[in-house]
Amino acid sequence: MHRSQQNERAAQQQQEPVLITAFINHLEHERGLSAETIRAYRSDLHQLARESGPLETISLSAIRRWLSELHQSGLARSSLNRKTASVRAFTAWAHRRGHLDEDPSVRLRTAKRSNHLPDVLQHQHVDQLTEGLARDIQGANDEPCAQALSLRDAAMIELLYATGMRVSELAGLDLSSFETGRRMVRLLGKGNKERIVPYGLPAETALHAWLQKGRPELQRESSGNACFLGRRGGRIDVRTVRRVVDDQLSRLGSTAARGPHALRHSAATHLLEGGADLRTVQELLGHASLSTTQIYTHVTIDGLRDAYGQAHPRA
């Protein structure tokens, strides 16, 4: 764990209820969940405690009221389900350990899952995106720091789209994660499961430019073996990656796609449209179940239906 992460975690533990700290230790040491997943659990439980009071006395009605308020505020169904999962995991653990007399989440129902995916980039959007990144690099020729950041942003976006990796996986990349001769990258996914994913020539070119010209400009003693660095030289964090991708996608204007996950969804959709089979896409994305990957077939079927309607004389 990096020093900045250790300091952040120490500050959180000083402020948070003892029960949450004990549960987080359980997730980290007994279940081996990823740092990103643990941060989500911690955030959800802190929010629940702020809205509903001490978790030692949490009730089913308080949980339902909290979730109902989140639903009315417009929170996405997927986010509601994640928060429900966080609470269920916590109350089940607390009941097993004797912190709660009963598990109030046993009767808590999950919202019906939606097959809706975030907006997917069209191929012309990808071209526009990479052209914009190239202009940023060219425009920052006389400013070493600005050019380094532009080279970094281009490499991150090229890799996210080329591999479909998660934003947490990208932030966790080390210099040793790459087999540049084979254009392969080793990723550590959910549950600390490792997989090796190929990437193409455009991503290789952008990565090489970042490592040769950009990274040395930002590198500090705190950089360590991290591949992508923040402005101050430390390992880049997930929030910065999200902001960079959001900023770049918002410049396109003609798409509502936002965030690193839109690049992941776009990569999966474009692979299937190009003829890749579901099993291959499942391996590339690091999905534990094929059913998770099958959601992308809805997108490609919709595209097929549209193409049919435009092209067939009796459509």
Q: How confident is the model at residue 5 (pLDDT cuts 50, 70, 90)?
A: very low
pLDDT in tens, 221-267: 999 999 999 999 999 999 999 999 988 888 887 777 788 888 888 88
pLDDT in tens, 264-295: 888 888 887 787 777 878 888 887 777 666 66
- Specify the higher pLDDT residue, 140 or 219: 219
Mean pLDDT on 81-102: 90
Provide the 10 A C-beta neighbour count for residue 146.
Answer: 15
Token pair of 214 as six digits = 């950009």
- pLDDT on residue 176: 94
Domains of the chain: 12-107 (1.10.150.130), 123-309 (1.10.443.10)
From 190, 195, 213, 258, the catalytic residue: 190
At 32, which helix (H) or strand (E)?
none
| Stated pTM of the model | 0.61
Q: Is-catalytic flag, 296?
A: yes
Q: Is-catalytic flag, 287?
A: yes
Strand partners, 229: 235
CA angle (145, 205, 254) in 5-degree steps? 80
Q: Is-catalytic flag, 242?
A: no
Q: Is-catalytic flag, 264?
A: yes
Q: Is-catalytic flag, 99?
A: no
From 152, 264, 265, 270, the catalytic residue: 264
9-18's contacts with Cβ under 8 Å and 24+ in sequence apart are: 12/42, 16/42, 16/46, 17/49, 17/54, 17/55
